Structure formats: C-alpha cells, structure tokens
Chains A and B, each alone.
Chain A
Amino acid sequence: MGATLAQQAVPRDTGVFEFLLDPDRWTGSTGILASGADSVLLCAAVIVTSIVLAVPAATVLAHGRRLELTSAWVVNIGRAMPTFGVAGLLVPFSLRAGYGFEPWPIFIALTLLTVPPMYLSTYTAIRQVPAGAVDAARAVGYTERDVLLRVELPLALRVIGTGVRVAAVQVVATEPIRAFLGGDGLGRYVRDGLGQNNSNLVIAGAILIGLLAASTGLLFAGLEWLLMPAGVRRLGGARTGRVQSSDATILTTDDGDGEAAGGPPGLHVASEPAEAGASSGGVRGSP
C-alpha cells in the first residue's frame, strides 16, 4: 500500500478562502473531497468497530455488575495510551508484516483511544438506571434479558448516546495525525502547509479539520435524537438522565481507587450542570 504522499503544491500567496473556494482544490486525487472521504472512511470504520467492541460488552457486564474493578483498570490503561506513540510503534510492525504504513497502525491506535471511554460511559449509563425501575420490572415478571433490553437499555440510551458522540468527535479530532504517519486524509493540508512553509494552507487545513469535527458532533447529536425511543424522549432529560448526560461524564472517571475511597469500586460519573451538556460539542482525545 504505502503512502501516497503526493503533496499539494499551493502558491504561498493563495489566500485561505481563495484556496477553500477554488473548485479545483476540491476535486482530483489530492483534492479536499478525496482527502475528506479518506478521513471519513477511516473514522467511520474506527467508530463502528469501537461501538461493536465496547457497547454490548459493557451493557451485559454492567447489568450483572461484573468486572467493575477490571473495567476501571482497562479504562485507565486505555487512557494512558498516547495515540501518536501507539500508532508510531505499530508502523514498523505493520511494514514487517507487509501491510504498509496505512491504515492499520492508525486504525488500531484510534480504536484503542475510543473503546475505553465508550465502554466506561455505557457501563455507567446502565449502572445509573434507577434501582426502583429495575426492581419493578423484575417484580412484574420480566426476565433478566427483558430487564436489560426493555428497561435498562432504553433508560440508559441518552447517556450511551452521549458517550458515543463524544468518542466519535474524539476520533475525528485525532485522525489528522495520520498525515504525519505516512497517510493522507484531511490532515495532509496542515502537513503540506507546514512543509511548504505556507501558513495559509495550514490554516485552510485546520479549518477543514475543525469543520469535520464539528459536523461529526452535530451528526451524532442528530442520530441520538432520532434513535431515542419515543417514550424515553417524552420523559425528558430530567428523569432518564439522573446524571445529566454531558461530555464531561467521560472526563471524571474515578478509577482504581474506588475501593480506597470506600465506595463500590470503579466507576463514577460526576453530575454536571444541565447547561454544560447542551453547550459542549464534544471531547478530544489523547493522541
């Protein structure tokens, strides 16, 4: 595979918006559309993989209140992984195995970045479902499976959705480092701009990356709303999210010292003022 590395030469006196509004810049193999598609494809693959890996496992384990301590450790170790370092470390191995610079190292690194917070937010979302609702469901004869699928999951959906949205934005915000790892994607304009000492190109690239990250946040917010069961939506945030679902959820993990703090080990979501949840767009990762 190898890196394409076709640099786009842009005259230094090209203005930022002159660049962005020139149709020729959008087409072709080094064009904005092709690079954007490159980025979107990788990000989509990472997000889907992470959801598949994290959400079902966390849901089932949280339902049984199992592996709480292990979960805390996994999340912790995952958070300590610098994405750029991990991806860089994987590059020679990928080359040795004949897979080239791209896309496996960055794919694996981004997935490692995303799975822990997604797992954590899902786990906590299920755990914070009011015990009364769960007990009531059991009392009217729901099987454990029904309790999970028809009570816990719908009530947790809002917080799970937030976790997925935050993680998705994080992936999109981190993906541009791929341009420095032998790949392309939207990060290429920043890389090329730095390489050609062309600050307008750097700024144009930064705008494109920022726009993609912002639209990812909006897209997932829309999806969250669409996928919310009507009944849960009617409840409003007040009762389903006993914890206001917010981006900060993921940032306030209380981990391994759960037992030290005297509580049930592991997971802790801090409450957060309602207004913060609405205004914040997403969360960045730890590349």
Chain B
Amino acid sequence: MSALVHAVDALRVPLPLAQGVTENNPIIRWSYLTEQSDRIIQALVQHVQLTVGAVSIGLALSMVLAGIGLRYRWTMGPITGTTAVLYTIPSVAFFGVLVPYTGSSATTALIPLVCFTLLILVTNIVDGFRAVPRPVKEAAEGMGLSPTSRVLTVELPIATPYIINGLRIATVTTVGLVTVAAIIGYGGLGRLILDGLRRGFWTPLTIGAALSILLAIVLDLAFFLLGRALTPWSRSVRTGRSGDHGEAGDDADAGSDPAGAARPVTAGA
C-alpha cells in the first residue's frame, strides 16, 4: 500500500490559484527537455507500455468474445451489450473505484483501459467476419478447405481491414485514456500533465500534453500504413457505386460499400 500512499500524497498538494504565465514560468522552457530528458522518456515509455499492454490484452479478449458471438449467435446481444456498458463507465470513476481494491498499480490502470477497448475491437472484428460474402465461404468449402484453414486463409484476410481499423481506433482512444490514469499515479505522459498542473509549472504540462497528442497522431498514422501494407489487394478493387444496393451484399470489399447499409445482417453470418 505504500505506493498508494505515495501517489495519494502527491494529490494532496492543491492546485495553484490562477498563477499566470510569467517570464520565469513560460509555457515551455526548452532547457527542461535536456535537463529532464530521463523523466520525459520514462513517462513516454510508460505511456507506450500501458497503451500496448491494454490494446494487446483487449485484442486477445475481443478475439475470444467475437469468436463466441459469431459461433453462438444468441450470445452476440449480451456480449455487445456488456462491452457497451463497460465502455460507458466514466474514466475518472472507473480508475478511482479500483484504487481501494488494486491500489495504485499497473493493474488498476490496465483494467479500465482494457475494458474500454473491448466494444471497439469486438464490433470491428465481428463486422470484419460478417463482411465475408457467403459465396466466398461456399467456394472455400467447395474447394475442400477445413473450417480452420477457411477461417485463417480466406475469412481472416477479408476481415483484416476491419480489424486493423478497430485496432487503430482502440489504440488512439487508449493513448488518450492513459493520460487520465495519472489520477491514480500511473499515467505515463499524463503524470507530466498533472504534475505541471499541480505545481503550476507549465513546462512539463506542455511537454506531456504535446507528446500525448503527438503519440496519438503517430500511432494513428502507423496503423493506417499497416492497414495498407497488409491488404495490398484492396487498392486494386474496382469502385462500387453507393447506390447499387443489390450487389453490395456480395461485395467483399469494405470500402466500396460506404454505408455498409446494403449488406444484409444475415449475409455474413
């Protein structure tokens, strides 16, 4: 519990009352970057670790949940419902509520972060597998593929753009939420922000905030490029018109069905 007491001690320091930006306390003091580079790097590393950890665990859980939901259709409602409720829990409340039970630890930070990724990932994975056109599945069966190899070699590649897209949203969202975990003393760059706010010292605040925004943008871009790299075939697919309702259901390509609307819910199942 000493970690908790330590984290909580920091919180006792009240915010400075309307201390302005002065010459001694500019919005950013550049020398801080070199003097405190260890601290900044440490915060950045922790931020990335929490993000990667939460999204990886979230992805593993979501794969299982999506698998169950696709296999046993009646479970889909409860699964989506539960993950949606988890997603709605206000972040400050979620982090705070866990402190009495799991203390100020990585676990306390990770549990809400993982829960927040589930709805995004499950939805996208399910959508991805539902986007596999029935004729494609039948053709795969007709060629004698076993269910396992059909899923891995036919359905998974078709679902990949959806899954990558889900990962992208989940990752960017998580980068933002990690900063909130600073309130329990475990927030990566969020700690720089909170520390800066508490001490009324703007440099760490600015650095923490700017780096968290930058990290989100960089990861967003990385997943965009990863998605392109993993699905080279999708670039050559002919564009379908948005008005063509009839054929869209048979269209394997995610992007050519802009509304997704035309795809009957049953088609992919």
Contacts and interface: CB of A to CB of B under 8 A. Distances in A.
Interface of A: 1-3, 5, 7, 76-77, 79-86, 88-89, 91-93, 95-96, 98, 100-101, 124, 127-128, 130-131, 169, 172-174, 176-177, 179-182, 187, 190-191, 193-197, 199, 202-203, 205-207, 209-210, 213-214, 217, 242-244, 247-248, 251-264, 266-276, 279-287
Contacts of B208: 85, 88
B183 A194 contact: yes
B197 A180 contact: yes
Nearest to B196: A88
Q: Which interface class (under 10, 10 to 19, 20 to 34, 35 or more) fits B? A: 35 or more
Interface stretch (B14-22, B37-45, B57-65, B139-147): B14-22
A80 B213 contact: yes
Nearest to A76: B220
A273 B193 contact: no
B135 interface: no
B240 interface: yes
A3 B228 contact: no
B234 A262 contact: yes
B54 to A, nearest CB: 13
A281 B85 contact: yes
A119 B42 CA distance: 37
A152 to B, nearest CB: 13
A81 B176 contact: yes
Contacts of B81: 275-276, 279-280
Nearest to B178: A82
A174 B91 contact: yes
Contacts of A93: 21, 27
Max chain B C-beta neighbours (<10 A), residue from A100, A128, A195, A273: A273
A84 B193 contact: yes
7 contacts: A81-B216, A82-B213, A96-B27, A252-B169, A257-B224, A257-B227, A280-B87
B169 A282 contact: no
Contacts of A82: 175-177, 179, 209, 212-213, 216
B21 A92 contact: yes
Interface string B67-105: 000000000111011001101111111101101100000
A261 B92 contact: no
Contacts of B17: 2-3, 5
A247 B90 contact: no
A173 B89 contact: yes
B97 to A, nearest CB: 4
A155 B226 CA distance: 37
A74 B25 CA distance: 34
B31 interface: no
A280 B80 contact: yes
Given A86-B213, A169-B88, A284-B87, 7 more contacts: A3-B18, A81-B216, A82-B212, A85-B190, A89-B213, A96-B27, A272-B127
Contact of B261 (A84, A128, A252): A128
A80 B169 CA distance: 9
Given A174-B91, A279-B81, A127 B258 contact: yes
A80 B220 contact: yes
